[in-house]
Structure 1
Amino acid sequence: MKKSAWKKQLTIMLSSGILLLQSTSVMAAPQELSLDDSIAAALKNNSAIKMALTDQERAEWGISEAKAGTLPSISANAGGSRGSSGAGSSDGTNYNSSLKLNWTLYSGGRTEGLINQAKLNADSSELNVAKTKQQIKLDTTTGYYSVLQARNMVSVNQDTVNNLTEHLKKVQAQFDVGVIAKSDVLRSEVELANAQQNLIKAQNSYDIAMSTLNNIIGAPLDTENILKDELVYAKNNLTIEDAVNHAFANRPELQQSKISIDSANQGIKVADSGRKPNVSFGATESWSGNDFPGDNNNWSMNVMANWNLFDSGQTNAKVKQAKASLEKAEEQAVQTKNSVELEVRQSYLSMKEAEKRIETTHITVDKAVEDLKIAQTKYYAGVGTNLDVIDAQLALTQAKTNYTQALYDYNVNKAKLLKAIGQI
């Protein structure tokens, strides 16, 4: 009875485990993803955009910090002492406390310059968010197309394995009836083994590409997605002149360069404020005595002007540094503009080059398919060689590989072009 009960318990546990595995498999079912779905997930989950938004928030708080320089500040001070106040006097406790107000009325333009720099920094941070979004979109698009390319290559290599497997069967059948030599069987087996190796590599490349895409969109790396889209050719009619003009008008980096120049000009004003007077208003109220806060009350108000007439060249050095920063910002703006134009031209020309390859490789695939059929027909009829069939199969595999690569290069470079002109 005990043994029967134990078996019954084990059966229940195994059944529960099977049900759990089945439910887990259902929960882990692959999800369908379009390119737009992937981009939306990346913009939501990618750490780069989260960091850019954090930087933007910090820059906005920097404006508040700079504006605080235009407002008064109040400080409190309190202290006490116990001891003799003089010869022959008794020990006692004495308290001192005060409230102080300080308000900078004029800083020679320093405060205003710092506020303007903070505002410009916030604007630049906002543009950085836009730039980060564009880069994430490009990374996601490239990752998505990489999975599509890898998937196509798995299909290409699987077709090759299937064709060579079928060919080997026919070769073996002909050898069995004594029509062909053993060398044809051996060569066919070698080519099939090589094709199987290439298929394994293609499957591994697909797994790596899928993990890379998952990393970009913020999904678990082992998630198996089903991609809805395909690698297709969609013509882009943009001219290179229009592309460059769009880039100059829309790229966040170019707008950030202008902001950097404006910020450097404000930096000169801040540095030059050291040559101007500083005017502030102050007020103090103090208490002292044996009881806290003190019985004796005093107050004072004053307006003070401070003008540093000679600082051993410190202000002049700061101004020179600020002007050097401006020159650097101007040169960086030129460099950025040139880099943007180069990026546009590289992406455009690479896209056009891939576009030409799509047409030629597509024709090559059709011819390679026909050539393989002819080689197979001649060989199976006894008027061709096994080498002709294998060469034709290798040529077809290469043609399909080239066509897939051309489609991938075209779509990726088109995405790079859209990012380069600020429209992705």
Structure 2
Amino acid sequence: MSYLKSFPLILTSLYLNFGYITPIFAQSADSPSPVSTNQFNSSANPLLFPTKPKEVEIDKQQSITLQEAIEIALKNNKSLQEARLELEKAEDGLRASLGAELPTVDGQLDFNQRGDDTTAQGGDIFRNRTQFLGQLEVGYELFNGGRRNATIERSRREVYFTKLDVERISEDTRFNVTDAYYELQNRDAQVAIAQAAIEDFSQTLRDAQLLEQAGLGTKFDVLQAEVDLANANQALTRAIADQRNARRTLAEVLSIGQNIELTAADEIKENGVWEYSLEDSIVMAFKNRAELEQLLVRKEINEQNREIALSEIRPQVGLFVNYNFTNTLVDTLENTGNANGYNLGARLRWRFYDGGTAQARGDQETRNMEIDETNFADQRNKIRLETETAYNTLIANKENIGSTEKAVITATESLRLARLRFQAGVGTQTDVINAQRSLTEARGNFLQAIIGYNQSLNELQRAVSNLPDSKLFEIR
């Protein structure tokens, strides 16, 4: 019998008395209705913060699925919002760079007035002269040492780099939300296990009291049972505190409102199967990870930066055509004449020596490219380690699910027999207590195997990324 079939039966038999199991481990026949994620959107004002206790008081509890949690986080995550704005800024920069492929048009108009004192027949004559000087010029850089092409290509790579950053943050967001959700499931189940332990120790205490009253038990057995029950209550108190903290952590990861508390709606079960070998997983991770692609793109950006730096000591060729006009008026409003004309030509500029500045800046960018190559190798090794670690942990937890399932069944039967022997007066309370502790430990191990499997699967999916299509962003 597989654990997926036996798990609900095991847990139902364990927790049926206090009815806590239904919302945590097994969903009812009627699945919860879909939740509108719009109600969890964070405030449009990022600078808003509560100033009154009422504003942070929890007044609503909402149960959500893992998929709903991911959708909420992708809408609300501040780092992701910032990355999208950075992408828009990079696209604006690309448009600005493309403008260099077009000619420039400049206009200029000068106005000046001067007075002339001239001597003529009949006396001195003073005249004011008003002059208008205008110029309209169209220019185009025919060749600028490769700076224009390098600037455009750099802007294109920066857009791609920022798209990859959006992808990286999206993958991180999915991973963090999934991890926080599984942790909440874990804490919910720990509460249920602690409550089950209290039920078991309460039963042991009742048995010890009955045996003492019948003269078959001792006061020591009663006191020992009371101590074990008190310890179980302490464990439950800690479990509830951890559960509340896990709920708050999920709310923080999702960046939701201050007045909402989230609970897990999904049942605890194995959430998928990894179909690839370790070697295939490693190769897929190398191909799919945005972090590796970003380092290659960064190297290309630095290569273009080197071209831009070296363009300063390369020939610069420009074409121009301008039209000039001059209009002069005297104080009698007499137009003394116009002077119009045009110029058409080319300019060649070549800085033969700049003190070695351009070459030094180019060498800096070469060093940056070498640094990018080193970082690429380091990141590649880290990604392999992440993939191998997650894969090996996944396999271990997969194997542990079956063994811990059997341990729960065995421990449950051992406790039943120990209690029957104790009630019949042929067993000891120590046997019952040991059986109870073994069952509590087996329950925890079974749960940890399932939760651990899901967590390692989440880690492996993040290590490989871009599933199922295995495609990075593409420039359109």
TM-score by length of structure 1 reads 0.84
Aligned residue in 2 for 1:3: none
Number of matched pairs: 396
Deviates more, 1:140-149 or 1:152-161: 140-149
Which one of 297, 306, 309 corresponds to residue 271 of structure 1? 309
| Deviation at residue 83 of structure 1 after TM alignment | 7.1
Which amino acid in 1 is paired with 2:71? A
Residue 313 of structure 2 contacts residue 354 of structure 2 at CA under 8 Å; is this kept in 1? no
2:276 matches 1:238: yes
Instruction: Say if 1:30 and 1:226, in contact at 8 Å, map to a contact too.
Output: no
Q: Which residue of 2 aligns with 1:205?
A: 242
Q: Which residue of 1 aligns with 2:419?
A: 376
Alpha-carbon distance, 1:410 to partner: 1.2
Q: Which residue in 1 is equivalent to 2:94?
A: 63
Query: How far did 1:217 drift?
Result: 2.9
Q: Given that residues 129 and 328 in structure 2 are in contact (C-alpha distance below 8 angstroms), is that contact kept between their aligned partners in structure 1?
A: no
Residues 145 and 311 of structure 2 are in contact (CA less than 8 Å); yes or no, is this contact kept in structure 1?
A: yes
Please list, as runs of the form range in 1=range in 2, the aligned pairs for 1:4-403 lying within 5 A after superposition.
Answer: 30-77=61-108, 98-220=135-257, 222-232=260-270, 234-284=272-322, 285=324, 300-301=342-343, 302-403=345-446
Contact 1:80–1:93, Cα closer than 8 Å, also in 2: yes
* Kept in 2: contact 1:368–1:396 (CA 8 A): yes
**2:184·2:247 contact (CA, 8 Å) conserved in 1?**
yes
> Any idea what SS the aligned residue of 2:261 has?
coil
Q: 2: distance between equivalents of 1:354 and 1:228? A: 20
- 8 A contact 1:233–1:407 mirrored in 2: no
Q: Check conservation: 1:264, 1:329, Cα contact below 8 A.
A: no
1:423–1:281: structure 2 CA closer, same or farther, 3 Å change rule? closer
CA distance in 2, matches of 1:85, 1:352: 99
In structure 1, what is the Cα distance between the partners aligned to 2:95 and 2:395? 49
Would the aligned equivalents of 2:184 and 2:264 in 1 still touch at CA under 8 Å?
Answer: no
CA distance in 2, matches of 1:137, 1:343: 17
Structure 2, unmatched stretches of 5+, are: 1-58, 119-123, 468-476
On the 8 A contact 1:98/1:287 being kept in 2, the answer is: no
Higher helix share: 1
In 2, Cα distance between equivalents of 1:144 and 1:345: 23
Identity %: 26
User: Shift of the alpha carbon at 1:80?
Assistant: 5.4
Question: For structure 1, which segment, 140-149 or 206-215, has the greater mean C-alpha deviation from structure 2 after superposition?
Answer: 206-215
Change (3 A) 1:297 1:340: farther
Alignment partner of 2:378: what SS? Answer: helix
Letter in 2 for 1:230: I
Tell me how far 1:345 sits from its aligned partner: 0.8
Q: Is the 8 A contact 2:177 2:250 kept in 1?
A: yes
User: Does the residue aligned with 1:223 lie in a helix, a strand or coil?
Assistant: strand
Tell me by how many angstroms 1:223 deviates: 2.4
Confirm or deny: 8 A CA contact 1:168 1:189 kept in the other structure.
yes
CA drift of 1:153 comes to 0.9
1:345-364 Cα distance to aligned partner (Å, 9 max, x none): 11111212222322322222
Question: Partner letter of residue 183 of structure 2?
Answer: S
Distance 1:143 1:86, change over 3 A: farther
- Summarize the Cα distance change of 1:196–1:85 in structure 2 as closer, same or farther, 3 Å threshold: farther
Equivalent residue letter for 1:110: R
Inter-partner Cα distance in structure 2 for 1:233 and 1:67: 48
Structure 1 counterpart of 2:233, one-letter code: Q
> Kindly tell me: are residues 39 and 311 of structure 1, through their superposed partners in 2, closer, same or farther at Cα, counting changes over 3 Å?
same
TM-score by length of 2: 0.75
* RMSD over equivalenced CA pairs, Å: 2.8
Stretch of structure 1 that moved more, 229-238 or 318-327: 229-238
Shift of 1:412: 0.8
Contact 1:287 1:298 in 2 (8 A): yes
CA–CA separation in structure 1 for the residues paired with 2:254 and 2:237: 26
Give, in whole Å, the separation in 1 of the partners of 2:221 and 2:208. 7
Give ranges in structure 1 of 5+ residues lacking alignment: 1-27
Q: Does structure 1 conserve the Cα–Cα contact (< 8 Å) formed by 2:408 and 2:439?
A: yes
Corresponding residue SS for 1:310: coil
Offset at residue 237 of structure 1 (A): 3.6
Q: Which moved more, 1:410-419 or 1:270-279?
A: 270-279
Q: State the Cα distance separating 1:198 from its structure 2 match.
A: 0.9
Contact in 2 for aligned 1:139/1:216 (Cα 8 Å): yes
